[in-house]
Chains A and B, each alone.
Chain A
Amino acid sequence: MRHDRAGATSAVVVGAGLAGLTAATGLAAHGIEVTVLEARDRVGGRTHGRQVGSGSWIDAGAAYLGDRHTELNALIAELGLKTTPTTMQGASRFALGAEHATRDGRFPPLNAVALGDLFELLDELATAVRPEAPWLTPDAERLDALTAAEWAEQHLTHPDARLFFPLFLGEMMAADPADVSVLHLAFYLRSGGGLRYLNAFEGGAQQDRIAGGAHQACELLAGRLGDRVRLGEPVLAVRQDEDGVTVRTPQGDHRADVVVMALPPLLADAVDYRPALPVRRASERTARGCAVKVNLVYPGPLWREHGLSGWSVNAEGPLLSTVDDSPPEGGVGVLTGFVTGGEAHRYAALTAQQQRSAAVEQAARLFPMLPEPIGFHLTDWVNEQYSQGCYAALLGPGDWLRLGPTLTTPHHRVHWAGTETSTEYFGLMEGAIRSGHRVVAEILAR
């Protein structure tokens, strides 16, 4: 690799999500000739807009942001987009026992001390983690070997804490407790700004949405690159030699000085690399983020007239939580349901008709004022071929110790981006953008 450090003049970026498009536009702004290869027939990755009315769009994928998401807020401003606050006025609905309950605010009708004990323990874990290098956390080996399910078995005694823990993990990180290590759980909470920031709407990570849909950020970035973004080109192989790198797709070969792999780890790991990777990008314990997102469209946000916020938390699926995602411009009302953790796998296995009726019937039990929806959108991120999970990859037992130290280490001419390579706001849009900026700096410094 004689010319490794000669300075790159051309780059192939693999993946046209927020990370890849941030990297590609950043490199192009420094005069580097870029080609973006995207497997799907659309850009956006895990952001995806769906139209629900004339001029009204909703997020079928990543949606929320908060003030601490500084790079995303800067991008939104630069692109001329606007944010809109997530609506959370009114009472919540809870189906956590035999009966449905309505309560002011978001606090569930469960034992407060038991939940407080759980949150104290989680806060202690998140505080102890080394966020920039989780594998160097004190006691990392033990925390990395233990699943969150095993940890809960050992530490949670009150039935309300045991009931709430998997729901909380599903909501926070789309994880089944059996899929993630305690180290990953602790890291994820810390990386996202702590338990409270990650959980909060106002003043937290769910404070705002991008008006008109988060997908617009990717579409506007891709628009700047024009025909340098090539859709429908899934990358099969990456070959490096003395003079450069060849990226192979079914359509042909693309040659460049460097490559940015801006993909979730399970997809990055499936590409054939020569020379081979010294350390894999994912292991057999790395799991798909388990989220199916359901958007139910009604003639209006009818729950508001009954003093309800649209927020609900439910012990039984498929919709483990719901939130009011109605477009800010008025018109239709949109109730978004989250199917997460193990429930996502069960729900994804149903037929389309079964999925629809299960979601519609549950929404009507939670919000009896609701008529039959006028629109129904379901996005199964778990089985999405070119995402393989959402919100983000779930690092399982052993993953952080094995894979963490090389998370961002270039493999000769191959650089790594994607929200899972960002130790800041891992799994969020903010993390994706930060990884894109980091990889641009790496390549410019070659």
Chain B
Amino acid sequence: MSVDTTTSADSGGTPGNPGSDVESVVAIFRRVLESTEVTPDSDFFLLGGDSLIATRVLSAIARSHGVELSFDDFVLAPTPQGLAEQIATAR
């Protein structure tokens, strides 16, 4: 078993391309929230997300983008757009 096998759908974060970072975070949100109603400015917590599955988003971002964001980073910007900006800053 490997974590990577679950997350092939999350890939697509081309380094340095904020547009595709947003798309890949949208895909991660959709997977962990089991919801298709995710747009770049969707608030994770308003979509029913909680702290437990927020960490799954951070885990997926670390694997697909090589960037480790903290839980506080997530809470400050809990949207695909906001997280893509954090990814770009952290790179």
Please say whether chains A and B are actual partners in one complex. Answer: yes
Q: Which residue of B lies closest to A115 (CB)?
A: B55
Which residues in A have their C-beta under 8 angstroms from that of B54? 107, 112, 116
Pairwise interchain contact A195-B52, C-beta atoms closer than 8 A: yes
By a CB distance below 8 angstroms, the chain B residues around A120 are 3, 6-7, 56, 59-60
Q: Is A200 an interface residue (CB 8 A)?
A: yes
Kindly supply a per-residue 1/0 record for chain B positions 1-35, scoring 1 wherever the CB is within 8 Å of any chain A CB and 0 otherwise: 10101110000000000000000000000000000
Closest to B70 in A: A112
Chain B CB within 10 Å — which of A105, A107, A199 has the most?
A: A107
B residues near A112, Cβ cutoff 8 Å: 54-55, 58, 69-71, 74
Contact check, A119 vs B48: say whether CB atoms are below 8 A apart: no
Interface residues of B in 30-58 (CB under 8 A from A): 48, 50-58
Docked-complex contact B51 and A119, CB < 8 angstroms: no
Docked CA distance A107–B1 (Å): 27
Cβ contacts A to B, 10 pairs, < 8 Å: A105-B51, A107-B51, A107-B54, A112-B54, A112-B74, A113-B59, A116-B57, A155-B1, A199-B50, A200-B50
Interface residues in chain A, defined as those with a beta carbon under 8 Å from any beta carbon in chain B: 105-107, 112-113, 115-117, 119-121, 123-125, 155, 195-196, 199-200, 203
Give A119 to B6 CA distance when docked, in angstroms: 12
Which residue on B lies nearest to A117, using beta carbons? B59
B88 within 8 A of A: no
Inter-chain contacts of B56 with A (CB < 8 A): 116, 119-120, 123
Minimum CB–CB distance from B8 to chain A (whole Å) comes to: 13
Assembly CA distance A107 to B54 (angstroms): 10
- With a cutoff of 8 Å between Cβ atoms, the chain A residues found around residue B58 in the complex are 112-113, 116
A105 to B71, CA, bound (A): 11
Distance A105 CA – B62 CA, assembled complex (angstroms):
23
Most chain B CB atoms below 10 A, which of A120, A155, A199, A200: A120
Which residues of chain B are near A200, meaning CB under 8 Å? 50, 52
Q: Does B85 contact A (CB under 8 A)?
A: no
A107-B54, A123-B6, A196-B52 are known; give 7 further A-B pairs, CB within 8 A: A112-B54, A113-B58, A117-B59, A119-B52, A124-B1, A125-B1, A203-B48
* Residues in B whose Cβ lies below 8 Å from that of A155: 1
Residue-wise interface mask of B (59-80) relative to A, using a CB-CB cutoff of 8 A (1 in contact, 0 not): 1101000001111001000000
A106 to B70, CA, bound (A): 15
Question: Smallest CB–CB gap between A52 and chain B, Å?
Answer: 30
* Contacts A112-B71, A124-B3 given; does A106 touch B55 at CB 8 Å: no
Q: Is the CB of A113 within 8 A of B3?
A: no
Contacts of A199 in B (CB 8 A): 50, 52
Contact of A113 with B1 at beta-carbon distance under 8 Å, contacts A119-B53, A120-B56, A120-B60 already known: no
User: How far in angstroms is the closest Cβ of chain A from B51?
Assistant: 4
Assess whether A124 is in contact with B53, with CB atoms less than 8 Å apart: no
* Closest chain B residue to A104, Cβ basis: B75
Chain B residues with Cβ under 8 A from A196's Cβ?
50, 52-53
CB neighbours (8 Å) of B71 from chain A are 107, 112
**Judging by beta carbons under 8 Å apart, are A116 and B59 in contact?**
yes
Contacts of B48 in A (CB 8 A): 203
Alpha-carbon separation in the docked complex, A203 to B5 (Å): 29
Cα(A112)–Cα(B51), bound, Å: 9
Closest to B33 in A: A196
Query: Are A106 and B51 in contact (CB-based, < 8 A)?
Result: yes
Contact assessment for A121 and B3 in the assembled complex, using a CB-CB cutoff below 8 Å: yes
CB closest chain-A residue, reference B49: A196
CB proximity of A411 to chain B, nearest CB, Å: 37
Which 5 A/B pairs are nearest by Cβ-Cβ distance? A116-B59, A116-B55, A107-B51, A112-B71, A115-B55
B37 to chain A, nearest CB (A): 16
> B62 contacts which chain A residues (CB < 8 A)?
113, 116-117
Most buried by B among A105, A106, A116, A196: A116
A194 CB, min distance to chain B CBs, angstroms: 9
Q: How far is the CA of A92 from the CA of B59 in the complex (A)?
A: 23
- Please tell me if the beta carbons of A117 and B3 are within 8 angstroms of each other in the complex: yes
| Neighbouring A residues of B74 by C-beta, 8 Å | 112
**B72 nearest in chain A by CB position:** A112
Q: Which residue of chain B lies nearest to A105 when distances are taken between CB atoms in the complex? A: B51
Residue of A nearest to B5 (CB): A124
Nearest opposing residue in chain B for A121, CB measure: B3
Q: Tell me the bound Cα distance from A116 to B49 in angstroms.
A: 13
CB distance from A106 to the nearest CB of B (A): 6
In the assembled complex, the Cα of A113 lies from the Cα of B50 at a distance in Å of 15
In the complex, how many angstroms separate the beta carbon of A239 from the nearest chain B beta carbon?
Answer: 47
Chain B residue numbers with a CB within 8 Å of A116 are 54-60, 62
